[in-house]
Amino acid sequence: MAVVGAHKIEALFKKAAGLQISKEKVKEISDVIDQKFHDLLLIGEANAKYNGRDVIWYSDLPLTKAFRESMQKFKDLEEELALQDVLDHMKTLPPLYALEVELENKAAEIVGTLVYVLANIAKEFSRNDKVVSADDLKSAERILNLTV
């Protein structure tokens, strides 16, 4: 089960960065987004534990100023991901601490922002082409791995 559906990923890449992606790349993108979302939650869990809590707060996630600005840009697209789909996907992940209500409510927005960020990084490599190549996607993934 993917955290974001194939059609939504395609739509977000097009709307966020003007890029088209092939059906073959959707699974790869979905896997990257799944991993980055889980990474954010793992750091959030470590921060909650450090602060003596067994609940992950929104403020526990390592969201940079740039990420928060990208969250606003994602919101400006007026695209929404189904919150329940994200929460259901989280049940397939290795067990984590419980999430506070604010974080649960922002989970879909965080996932959408990850797609937005990956699309815009890929756009930097696909400057003269509207179709994302496998190499462009790998380069974008490497940068996302270094920054998130």
Percentage of the residues of the chain whose pLDDT score is greater than 90: 74
Residue 1's pLDDT is what?
A: 55
Q: What is the pTM of this model?
A: 0.93
The domain made up of 6-147 has a fold known as: Histone, subunit A (1.10.20)
CB 55 within 8 A of CB 99: yes
CB 61 within 8 A of CB 110: yes
In this prediction, residue 89 has a pLDDT band, given cuts at 50, 70 and 90, of: confident
Average pLDDT over residues 107-129: 92
For residue 53, the 8-state DSSP code is -
Residue 84: CA count within 13 A, CB half-sphere: 0
Q: What is the mean pLDDT of the chain?
A: 92
Contacts of 142 (CB under 8 A, 6+ apart): none
